[in-house]
Amino acid sequence: MKLDTFRDRLIYAKDEKGLKQVDLVKATGVSKGTVSNWISGKTTPDDTVALGDLAKALGVSVDWLVTGRESNNHSFSNVRPVDKHEIRMAPVLNYVQAGEFCEYFDDAIADRFEPVSTKHPKNSYWVELNGLSMIPDFYPEELVLINPDMQPSPGDYVVAKKAGENAVTFKKWRPRGFDDDGVEYCELVPLNPDFPIIDSRHTPFTICGVAVEHKKKLK
């Protein structure tokens, strides 16, 4: 059975647990029509509390239910259910959207959301990676969770915005000390040696946040 969509995973997990539609209604507190729409694929949960309750009833994680990751095709006994108070949904931004958020700090507008732990600040957001400058550790379409309130430490991965550009870039942050005028400077370092290092003395940039989680694509 394919598990490509939320509906596929919901039906599969429901059948694995031997649950009926009425059981999901009781577990989540939503109407029969709402659960029916989930099962038919017409809608997906837009309430994080209901989503957490649904995952708990199914014995799976919210992350697996929403994204298909952390799956076990035969048993869910080794997947810890996520409590409804432990998760929320955070926006997934491309480089341009992240650049706008970095500059204006307005509520991020996104078409896609991914679950995060509530231990992260409410203004945290996912960035979908693009380009090859950070291979082999980071590949296009993978996600990094950005904490905009965190100050970087040497070796941290950061999202930064170069002066005069709309989009952000994702690089490793490296402090370099002080220049001849006593001004502190730093570098944005790609992991791919075919790409240039960005030196703040020559290309000023602003740190928009520090990466705290990384979601890889296995296939």
Same domain for 97 and 189, yes or no, is yes
What is the CATH number for 163? 2.10.109.10
pLDDT for 196 equals: 96
Q: What is the pLDDT of residues 145-197, one digit of tens each?
A: 999 999 999 999 999 999 999 999 999 999 999 988 899 999 999 999 999 99
Same domain for 154 and 178, yes or no, is yes
Task: Report yes or no: 128 and 60 within 8 Å, Cβ to Cβ.
Answer: no
Q: Which amino acid is at 47?
A: D
Same domain for 164 and 191, yes or no, is yes
Same domain for 74 and 109, yes or no, is no
What is the CATH number for 17? 1.10.260.40
| Chosen domain end from 82, 110, 138 | 82
Report yes or no on 63 lying in a domain: yes
- Between these two residues, 138 and 118, which has the higher pLDDT value? 138
Same domain for 56 and 96, yes or no, is no
- CA-to-CA distance for 53 and 63, rounded, in angstroms? 13
pLDDT for 72 equals: 46
Same domain for 102 and 207, yes or no, is yes
Same domain for 144 and 200, yes or no, is yes
Same domain for 71 and 107, yes or no, is no
Report yes or no on 118 lying in a domain: yes
| Chosen domain end from 45, 66, 82 | 82
Same domain for 102 and 147, yes or no, is yes
Asked if pLDDT for residue 31 goes beyond 50, the answer is yes
What does the angle CA 140 – CA 141 – CA 144 come to, to the nearest 5 degrees? 95
When the pLDDT of each residue in the chain is averaged and rounded to a whole number, the result is: 86
- CA-to-CA distance for 155 and 214, rounded, in angstroms? 15
Q: Reduced to 3 states, what is the DSSP secondary structure of residue 96?
A: helix
- Between these two residues, 84 and 116, which has the higher pLDDT value? 116
What are the two backbone dihedrals, phi and then psi, of residue 95, each rounded to the nearest 5 degrees? -65, -35
Report yes or no on 1 lying in a domain: no
Report the predicted TM-score, pTM, of the whole model to 2 decimal places.
Answer: 0.62
Same domain for 96 and 203, yes or no, is yes
User: What is the number of structural domains in the chain?
Assistant: 2
Same domain for 76 and 140, yes or no, is no
- Residue 100 belongs to domain spanning: 88-215
Same domain for 92 and 199, yes or no, is yes
- DSSP one-letter string for 124-184: -EEEE--SSTTTTT--TT-EEEEETTPPP-TT-EEEEEETT-SS-EEEEEEEEEE-TTS-E
pLDDT for 45 equals: 84
Report yes or no on 32 lying in a domain: yes
